[in-house]
Amino acid sequence: MTDPNAIQPSELDQLPDRDPEETAEWQASLDAVAKAAGPHRAAYLMRRTLERAEAGGIALPKLLETDYVNTIPTAAEPSAPGDEAMEHRITAWNRWNAAAMVTRGSKYGVGGHIATFASAAWLYETGFNHFFKGKEADGSGDQLYIQGHASPGIYARAFLDGRLNEDHLDNFRREAGGNGLPSYPHPRRLPWLWEFPTVSMGLGPLSAIYQARFNRYLTNRGIKDVSASHVWAFLGDGEMDEPESTAALALASREGLDNLTFVINCNLQRLDGPVRANFKIVQELEAQFRGAGWNVIKSLWGNAWDELFQLDTTGALVRRLREVPDAQVQTYQTRGAAYIREDFFGKDPALAEMAKLLSDDKILECFHFSRGGHEARKVYAAYKAAVEFKGAPTVILAQTVKGNTLGEGFASKNANHQMKKLTVDEFKTMRDLLELPIKDSDFVDGVVPYGHPGADSPEVRYLQERRAALGGPAPARRTHALAPLPAPAEKAFASFDKGSGTQNVATTMAFVRLIKDLVRDKETGKRWVPIVPDEARTFGMESLFPSLGIYSPKGQTYEPVDRDQLMYYKEAENGQILNEGITEAGSMADFIAASTAYSTHGEAMIPFYIFYSMFGWQRTADQMWQLGDQLGRGFLVGATAGRTTLTGEGLQHADGHSPVIAATNPAALTYDPAFAYEVAAIVKDGLRRMYGEAAPGEDPNVFYYLTVYNEPLPQPAKPSGLGIDEGIVKGLYRFNTAESAGLNVAAANAPRIQLLGSGTAIHWVLEAQKLLAEEWGVAADVWSATSWTELRRDALEADAALLRGEERVPYVRQALHGSDGPVLAVSDYMRQVPDQIAQWVEQDWSSLGADGFGLSDTREGARRHFGVDAESVVVAALAQLARRGEVKATAVKEAREKYGL
């Protein structure tokens, strides 16, 4: 009996049912199928119905998982062009040389990876022969993000086509001699070959998405039409656990990036064992990508499986494939036919009957070898479907066997990621499997030989002809002979020289004002790429919204709520600003794409990425390292910088260490400017070095990190005199002396001290200079230290020159030479920031800084807490002079009491 108080199904549905009787009939039909043919048949019909609805454009929630079978059935596979037998021979040579390279290098203990490329060889070879456009193709060619651990296979192919020789291969992972190959894709180490560094897991997929997005940005803004370029990212299934790997999937589908394809090598193994031992990584990834709006293509099984699927009249095989966990699939790869018959087929009566029709050889062929990622035709079909799909990015989930063709000692073994070599006997077995013409006598003294069919062989001619048809060799990085960008008008920089008068201005605001002038420059203005992670209003950049527009491929499909205001929120298809939302990682990926456009696309772009300084280097330092590796150029701007300037925000917003992290990056030029004119001078010099005429010996492949502050303070006029600009760029110059500051120090032989300050700390130092003169009779000279890190690097270069027998004095010693008294350095960062230069300062050295965690307070309260305010500087200066006997020891105690320290 039906409970009259029970909630009926229709009551749970907010949508009205205009025909309840028809609905009931559909439901009854489903119940009848489930009863007559079983729940599996009912589920099958529902999936097919949902697929038909999706294909017909009916608005329904997406089907997140499909059966554990190929998306493209064998009957629907297109015929692959080219000579498949020839491509098999080429792939065999590449497999051999990749394994030989790593094995030969193992005697030096330098490591290397064999199993990854062995599983992915056809994923690369099919692309190189038929899809990957070279740099001479339309637009800029394709962009290839190669899986880092597969690099030996890429080197092997470059050896086959003549771009590398045996000496290169023998110096794999041994670069110090000058003829070596880096372990992974490192553009800085091999700039003619590698375009994108990828081996820091997760950054490859993230960067690939933003590269595809930046390609659209360049096209939509009319900078360059790169609509013919396609971005290919080759990834590992284990790598997809990194949060960065999937962080931007929604962006890619939201913006319809059909110029992007992920190829995930699903060999079911990560570094220590199975990716999903008790689950199925392919199904998990399919649901994740489908849910994010991607087109998903699964290429799981090779042609040998076709016979099994044809025998599966009950669906038992498909059900079993769905339920077997990945670790068990890996076990099947290493076991004999009897085990597979019992464990796989024996679980279901229908499968047991099917197994009776299969020979042991057939079972082993299917379970040991036949995978979708190992068959050229299936890979071709997947790639063709991917590049032809419109409206969304595509992910190809290609199932492979890690260590394929390397023999039973490697294939699917948990330890194969750490296995660095094959024995001679294993190589001979591999040779026979690959049918390579290598003789036993070629193994001289047990050393495996490299194999090459000859520079004029059919294999090499075929390879080179295919690459010529596709636009040249790949992967490849271009070094374009770009004309230097014209320098912006001098008035944009000179306007800061006169200072702000009576107006207080934060250096953040000074930087934004400078950018406003630079983006209006007729010659270079369009090349600026402003990047901000949803904090533009914090940094006073909202005035750029209506003039530059925020980039959106859809433009502005709505009326903004603030349309009647002067600085309204304007989105545009050709917008210049990249406002990324709350994602520092995404913003950095933007910056990397823009900062390397001079090479990727032959178009010099000038990105500046402005962010909370605390949330830049601390969160995304790995991407900054990637940026340096990729030879990126541009300006990173850490705003609201310093440990004590961001009032009330507290520990997680108080940056006292970003210059420390930045100092570890050899490509980062780190500056902590104190005044607006310093900001202008640094940006001006950065434009010259990175985009104009670099001086002899200067590397243009650097990027600048500037810290700017949100504290409104007086901006003084630029001091007159020679060498000010040089000092700003090199890192140190004398801002004033006690005398030039107009301070009255009574005694002619008054004690003197040199006060060095950087960033906002210079204002406390100037106040301390005044107190020292007026209350303690001490003359202090004030120096602005714009870059402690650049001073240190110059000194390190001087030390290196000395070892070569060259006499060179570090700039910091030259600048301070002859200055009387000790040196006291003050920073709003940890003391180790100014202490970087201590060993090269000939005067007595001491420093003050904001060590420890930040805290919520007023600026004054925080500075007193850390002991860096003006009064603390005075006490520290007196203590330093007292140790030298230049002031009375009692003065230090008196000052502490007077200032309440």
Q: What is the pLDDT of residue 746?
A: 63
Give the pLDDT mean for 226-243: 97
pLDDT (tens digit per residue) in 133-168: 999 988 899 999 999 999 999 999 999 999 999 999
In terms of average pLDDT, the best of 14-23, 398-407, 808-817 is 808-817
Helix (H, G, I), strand (E, B) or coil at 484: coil
Higher-pLDDT residue of 665, 614:
665
* Strand-by-strand arrangement of the 752-757 sheet: 733-736, 779-784, 752-757, 823-826, 845-848
Say whether pLDDT at 734 is over 70: yes
- Candidates 758, 761, 794; CA nearest to 678 is 758
User: Please, what is the angle between helix 151-160 and helix 84-105, to 10°?
Assistant: 120
- Candidates 671, 665, 586, 654; CA nearest to 630 is 665
Helix (H, G, I), strand (E, B) or coil at 508: helix
Say whether pLDDT at 16 is over 90: no
CA distance 233 to 203: 11
The residues near 805 (Cβ < 8 Å, ≥ 6 apart) are none
CA distance 158 to 149: 16
Say whether pLDDT at 899 is over 90: yes
Longest dimension (CA), the chain: 110
Q: What is the pLDDT of residue 289?
A: 97
pLDDT category at 22 given cuts 50, 70, 90 is: confident
The residues near 320 (Cβ < 8 Å, ≥ 6 apart) are 344, 347, 348, 351
- Candidates 572, 506, 502, 574; CA nearest to 541 is 506
Give the pLDDT mean for 732-756: 90
CA distance 843 to 881: 12
CA distance 781 to 735: 8
In total, the chain counts a number of residues equal to 901
Say whether pLDDT at 505 is over 60: yes
Helix (H, G, I), strand (E, B) or coil at 231: strand
Kindly give the residue spans of alpha helices, DSSP state H, lying in 38-182: 39-55, 84-105, 115-130, 151-160, 166-170
Asked if residue 40 lies in contact with residue 315, where contact means CB atoms within 8 angstroms, the answer is yes
Q: What is the pLDDT of residue 411?
A: 67
- Candidates 394, 381, 268; CA nearest to 334 is 268
CA distance 375 to 463: 18
Q: Which of 225-234, 559-568, 701-710 has the lowest mean pLDDT?
A: 559-568
pLDDT category at 8 given cuts 50, 70, 90 is: very low
Calculate what percentage of the chain has a pLDDT beyond 90.
82
Q: What is the pLDDT of residue 2?
A: 44
pLDDT category at 177 given cuts 50, 70, 90 is: confident
Asked if residue 106 lies in contact with residue 112, where contact means CB atoms within 8 angstroms, the answer is yes
Q: Residues 284-313, buried b or exposed e (16+ Cβ, 10 A)?
A: bbbbbbbebbbbbbbbbbbebbbebeebbe
What is the pTM assigned to this prediction? Answer: 0.94
pLDDT category at 609 given cuts 50, 70, 90 is: very high
Give the pLDDT mean for 418-426: 82
Sign of CA dihedral 593, 599, 600, 602: positive
Give the pLDDT mean for 417-437: 87
Give the pLDDT mean for 477-487: 91
**Is the preceding omega at residue 475 within 30 degrees of 0, hence cis?**
yes
The residues near 267 (Cβ < 8 Å, ≥ 6 apart) are 116, 119, 120, 236, 237, 373, 399, 400, 401, 402
- Candidates 653, 661, 709, 712; CA nearest to 855 is 653
Give the pLDDT mean for 383-396: 98
Q: What is the pLDDT of residue 889?
A: 92
Q: What is the pLDDT of residue 415?
A: 57
Integer-rounded Cα radius of gyration of the chain: 33
Q: What is the pLDDT of residue 179?
A: 85
Say whether pLDDT at 549 is over 90: yes
**What's the CA angle centered on 364, arms 351 and 373, to 5 degrees?**
100
End-to-end CA distance of the chain: 84
Residue 447: φ, ψ to 5°:
-95, 125
- Candidates 799, 638, 651; CA nearest to 708 is 638
Give the pLDDT mean for 746-763: 91
Q: What is the pLDDT of residue 412?
A: 54
Q: What is the pLDDT of residue 416?
A: 58
Asked if residue 669 lies in contact with residue 703, where contact means CB atoms within 8 angstroms, the answer is yes
- Candidates 361, 463, 443; CA nearest to 129 is 463
CA distance 816 to 795: 13
Helix (H, G, I), strand (E, B) or coil at 50: helix
pLDDT (tens digit per residue) in 442-454: 999 989 999 999 9
pLDDT category at 6 given cuts 50, 70, 90 is: very low
Q: What is the pLDDT of residue 53?
A: 82
Q: What is the pLDDT of residue 12?
A: 43
Tokens of 478: 């271009």
Give the pLDDT mean for 110-118: 90
CA distance 786 to 791: 9
Say whether pLDDT at 817 is over 70: yes
Element (H, E) at 755: strand 752-757
CA distance 845 to 839: 9
Kindly give the residue spans of alpha helices, DSSP state H, lying in 549-601: 584-595, 597-600
Inter-CA distances, 772 with 74, 234, 447, 767, 867, Å: 86, 63, 75, 9, 16
733-736/528-532 β-pairing: unpaired
Say whether pLDDT at 10 is over 50: no
Q: Which of 364-373, 737-746, 806-815 has the lowest mean pLDDT?
A: 737-746
pLDDT category at 39 given cuts 50, 70, 90 is: confident
- Candidates 548, 582, 587; CA nearest to 568 is 548
Q: What is the pLDDT of residue 63?
A: 79
pLDDT (tens digit per residue) in 204-227: 999 999 999 999 999 999 999 999
Inter-CA distances, 165 with 157, 189, 334, 772, Å: 11, 17, 36, 68
pLDDT (tens digit per residue) in 820-863: 999 999 999 999 999 999 999 999 999 999 999 999 999 999 99
The DSSP code for 271 is S
What average pLDDT does the structure give for the chain? 93
Asked if residue 70 lies in contact with residue 377, where contact means CB atoms within 8 angstroms, the answer is no
